[in-house]
A = this chain, B = another copy of it.
C-alpha cells in the first residue's frame, strides 16, 4: 500500500476554464508507482475550482464558463462581501457550485478517465494568484 502526497504550484491562469489533465499527470510522479487506487486532487483556494468535463472541444469550456458567469454575475448588488471587486463574491459562489476537489481512479500509473473526460481548472478571478494543488495518491503497486 502506497500513500504519496505532493503539493504543486500550477502558476497563474487567465480567468476561464483550462484543461489541466496532462499537466497534472506529468507532475504527479507518485502516480507512476500505482497499479490500482485513487488520486485526490485538492485546490487550496476559495475562488478557483476543479471539475471534470469534455476534453475535446474547447467550446465546452467556453460555454460552461458562459453559463456560470451568467448564473452568478459579477457586480451583483445583493452581496455584502465585495472588498476585492465585482468578481470577488461570485468567485466564491462558483467555487462551491463546482467544488474545490476531485477524486479520480488510478490504474496502471495513470488517471483512469473516460474517453471524453478531462480535468478542468476553473479560474474565477480576473487576476487570480498562483494556484496551488495538493495531490494525494493511494493504492497498491
Contact = CB atoms under 8 A, between A and B. Distances in A.
Nearest to A67: B93
Interface of A: 1, 3-5, 36-38, 40, 42-46, 51-54, 57, 59-60, 62-64, 66-67, 70-72, 76, 78-81, 83, 89, 92-93, 95-105, 107, 112-117, 132, 134, 136, 138-140
Nearest to A54: B46
A40 B42 contact: no
Nearest to A52: B100
A66 B90 CA distance: 12
Contact of A44 (B44, B81, B117, B139): B117
Contact of A59 (B5, B53, B67, B80): B80
Number of copies: 3
Contact of A81 (B63, B72, B96): B63
A63 B13 CA distance: 26
Contacts of A5: 36-37, 105, 107, 112
A96 B52 contact: yes
Contacts of A63: 78-81, 89, 92-93
A104 B42 contact: yes
Contacts of A98: 96-97
B112 A134 contact: yes
